[in-house]
Amino acid sequence: MAASDTGAAQQQMDEIEALSSIYGEDWCVVDEDEKIYCIKINDCLDQPKWTLCLQVILPPGYPTAEPPIYQLNAPWLRGQDYMELANSLEEIYVQNLGESILYLWVEKIRDVLIEKARSSDPEPDIKKTSEEVDEGDGDDFLLDCQPIQEDPIKMLNYITSESQEGDEELPSIHHGNPITDRRSTFQAHLAPVVTPRQVKRVLEKLYENKKIASATHNIYAYRIYCEDKQTFLQDCEDDGETAAGGRLLHLMQILNVHNVLVVVSRWYGGILLGPDRFKHINNCARNVLVEYNYVPSVEESSKQAGKSKKIKKDKKRTEH
C-alpha cells in the first residue's frame, strides 16, 4: 500500500471514530468493508419536524485525493431544495480540499434543517419516494397489495385495533445473508406470524435496530392462512420502492408460503440499479425462505421431481 493510501486510511479511521463518538446513536455503520456510513440529522427540536439521512461512501483516496460519494435521503428533499443543499456540500469540499469534511457536511445540513424549522416553511410531506423510478415497473405485480401511504406501523395499529388486545409473544426473527451490488446492499429478515398483531410487533422490533431503521427502504409482505375461513390474510408495503412489495407478495404466493412475514431492507449506495433491484429483493427473500425451510431448495426440488418421475415410470411398467 502506498504511503498516501496509508495516510488516507488512517485519516478515515480517525474521522469515523470521532464522528461515532460525537453523534452516538445517530451514527450508523451500514457496511464496514465497503466504507458505507449513515447519519440521521434533525432540526434539534424536542419533536423534530425536519430530518434527513446522509449516507456516505468513503473511497480509498478520501480525504487526500477523492471526495466522499454521498446520498441525501429525505422524503421531502427534491428539486430546488436538493440542488441547493448538494451545491452547499460541494462548496465545502472545494474550500477544504484534502481535509476531513464529514463533520462540516453534517453541521451544514443541520443548519439548513434548523433554518427550515424557524422559517414559515410548511412541515415536510413525509411520504417516501423511490430513488429509482422506471417506466413500466410492473403495476401488474401489485395484485391485491395497495401501497400503504401512511406509516406502516400506524396502519397495522388500525388493522389490529379490533383484534385481541392481549400481548402476544414476539416471534423469533431471523436475518438472511446480505447481497451487495454496486454499493447497494439488500438483506432479508423473516419471522413466523399467525396474526396481524404479530406482524406489527416484529416490525416494531426490527425498527428498533438503528441500521434497519436507517435503510432507504424496508419492503415487506406477509401471508397468514385463516383455517376457519380457509382464506389468506395477506398484505405488503413498498416503503417508497414502487411495486416492490407487490412483487415480493407475488413471489410468496408462487412459492405457496404461509404464516410468515418477510422484510427486505435496502441501503441505497448512490448508483441506480434499474430492474436488477427487484431481482435482488426477490433473491434475498427466496434465500431466507429456503434457509428456514419454508420452501425446498433448488436441489431438493430437483430430487423430488426426479422421484416423482421414477414413480410414474414404475407405475407404467406395472400396468403393462
Contacts 24+ apart (CB under 8 A), 88-95: 88/112, 93/67
CATH number at residue 244: 3.30.230.30
pLDDT in tens, 114-163: 998 888 666 665 545 455 554 444 333 333 333 333 444 444 444 444 44
Find how far residue 22's CA is from the centre of its chain: 25
Secondary structure percentages of the chain, helix, strand, coil, to 5: 40, 20, 40
Mean pLDDT of the chain: 78
The three-point CA angle 32-283-225 to 5° equals 120
Residues 110 and 204 in one domain: no
pLDDT in tens, 14-40: 888 888 888 888 888 888 888 888 899
pLDDT-derived band at 47, boundaries 50, 70, 90: confident
Count of CB atoms situated within 10 Å of the CB of 287: 16
How far is 194 from 260, CA to CA, in rounded Å?
7
Task: Report how many domains make up the chain.
Answer: 2
Range of the domain at 187: 174-295
Return phi, psi of residue 51, to 5°: -130, 160
| Residue at 262: amino acid letter | V
Return phi, psi of residue 100, to 5°: -75, 125
Is residue 271 situated within a structural domain?
A: yes
Count of CB atoms situated within 10 Å of the CB of 187: 20
Instruction: Give the domain-ending residue among 94, 118, 142.
Output: 118
Residues whose CB is less than 8 angstroms from the CB of residue 286 and which lie 6 or more positions away in sequence, other chains included: 251, 255, 295
Residues 178 and 105 in one domain: no
Higher pLDDT, 76 or 290: 290
Is residue 79 situated within a structural domain?
A: yes
Least confident span in 125-129, 255-259, 279-283: 125-129
Is residue 138 situated within a structural domain?
A: no
Residues 201 and 268 in one domain: yes
Q: To 10 degrees, what angle do helices 79-95 and 102-118 make?
A: 140
Is residue 153 situated within a structural domain?
A: no
Residues 286 and 199 in one domain: yes
Is residue 37 situated within a structural domain?
A: yes
Residues whose CB is less than 8 angstroms from the CB of residue 268 and which lie 6 or more positions away in sequence, other chains included: 55, 71, 73, 131, 184, 216, 217
Which pLDDT score is estimated for 261?
96
Which pLDDT score is estimated for 43?
87
**What letter does residue 178 receive in the DSSP assignment?**
-
Is residue 312 situated within a structural domain?
A: no
Return phi, psi of residue 80, to 5°: -65, -40
- Whether the bond between 63 and the residue before it is cis, its omega within 30 degrees of 0, is yes
Q: 3-state secondary structure string, 52-99?
A: EEEEEECCCCCCCCCCCEEEEECCCCCHHHHHHHHHHHHHHHHHCCCC
Is residue 305 situated within a structural domain?
A: no
How far is 185 from 172, CA to CA, in rounded Å?
23
CATH number at residue 112: 3.10.110.10
Torsion sign, CA atoms 214, 127, 253, 206: positive
Instruction: Give the domain-ending residue among 118, 142, 158.
Output: 118
Using left for φ > 0, alpha for ψ between -120 and 50, and beta otherwise, residue 317 falls in alpha
Is residue 265 situated within a structural domain?
A: yes
Residues 178 and 114 in one domain: no
